Amino acid sequence: MGFFYTQNLTKFAQIKNYTIMMKMLHSYWAYLAVLLLIIATVNAIIGLTQNKEFKEKDLRISLFTLIIMHIQLLIGLGWYFMSPAYKALKESGMGATMKDSASRLLAVEHPLMMILAIVFITIGWSKHKKQTTDNGKFKTITIFYGIALLFVLSRIPWQQWLG
């Protein structure tokens, strides 16, 4: 009996450690993702307003942001399905979750807006490649990455992120 009890405790500890690890990974990777999204957006705005040539550096900044944001999405989805917010949503239902603003932010608004942000980044990346002018490339990145940045900043759970 003691052997099975110890095995179950070990499995529980591993699950708890994975959950903590996923939350930390999602949180720390988010700093990198937001920083790169800001850099890519500001870089595109500067390129657009100053009529700069769209160079390899500009391409790399936008591409690296796209990659980092997609990795953040994968980490976020992994964390979401392990999170207390998702477990509470499953237990209490959508109605109760939507009535509580803190629960709604973590279980519904944050994931939805982050997915939409990544959709906009992906569309912006794809559309910028079809542009034939440097101005068009910068404009496309500015619009789509800018909208994504607004979505991200609007639904970061700031009380947890800065606290």
The pLDDT tens digits for 66-85 are 999 999 999 999 999 988 88
Q: Which residue has the higher pLDDT, 35 or 3?
A: 35
Check pLDDT > 90 for residue 115.
yes
Establish if 45 belongs to a structural domain.
Answer: yes
Cα–Cα distances in angstroms (integers) from residue 39 to residues 18, 107, 161, in the given order: 31, 28, 20
pLDDT of residue 14: 62
Establish if 60 belongs to a structural domain.
Answer: yes
SS3 71: helix
Establish if 78 belongs to a structural domain.
Answer: yes
Check pLDDT > 50 for residue 8.
yes
Report the run of H or E that residue 109 belongs to, with start and end.
none
Is the Cβ–Cβ distance between 59 and 160 less than 8 Å? Answer: no
Check pLDDT > 60 for residue 24.
yes
Confidence category of residue 5, pLDDT binned at 50, 70, 90: very low
- Take residue 105 and report the two structure tokens written for it: 């932010």
Number of domains observed in the structure of the chain? 1
The range of the structural domain enclosing residue 131 comes to 23-161
Q: Smallest Cα–Cα separation from 65: which of 40, 31, 30?
A: 40
| Residue in this structure with the two tokens 């002018």, named with its chain if needed | 133
Average pLDDT, the chain: 90
Establish if 4 belongs to a structural domain.
Answer: no
When mean pLDDT is compared across 60-74, 100-114, 123-137, the lowest value belongs to 100-114
Check pLDDT > 50 for residue 90.
yes
Establish if 6 belongs to a structural domain.
Answer: no
Q: What is the pTM of this model?
A: 0.87
pLDDT-above-70 percentage for the chain: 88
Q: How far apart are alpha carbons 144 and 45 in whole angstroms?
A: 11
- Give the number of residues written for the chain: 163
Q: How far apart are alpha carbons 116 and 121 in whole angstroms?
A: 9
Establish if 88 belongs to a structural domain.
Answer: yes
When mean pLDDT is compared across 14-18, 51-55, 69-73, the lowest value belongs to 14-18
pLDDT of residue 22: 85
pLDDT of residue 149: 98
Establish if 9 belongs to a structural domain.
Answer: no
**What does the radius of gyration of the chain's CA atoms come to, in whole angstroms?**
20
Q: Smallest Cα–Cα separation from 144: which of 131, 156, 126?
A: 126
Q: How far apart are alpha carbons 28 and 23 in whole angstroms?
A: 9
Confidence category of residue 7, pLDDT binned at 50, 70, 90: low
Q: How far apart are alpha carbons 124 and 144 in whole angstroms?
A: 5
Establish if 13 belongs to a structural domain.
Answer: no
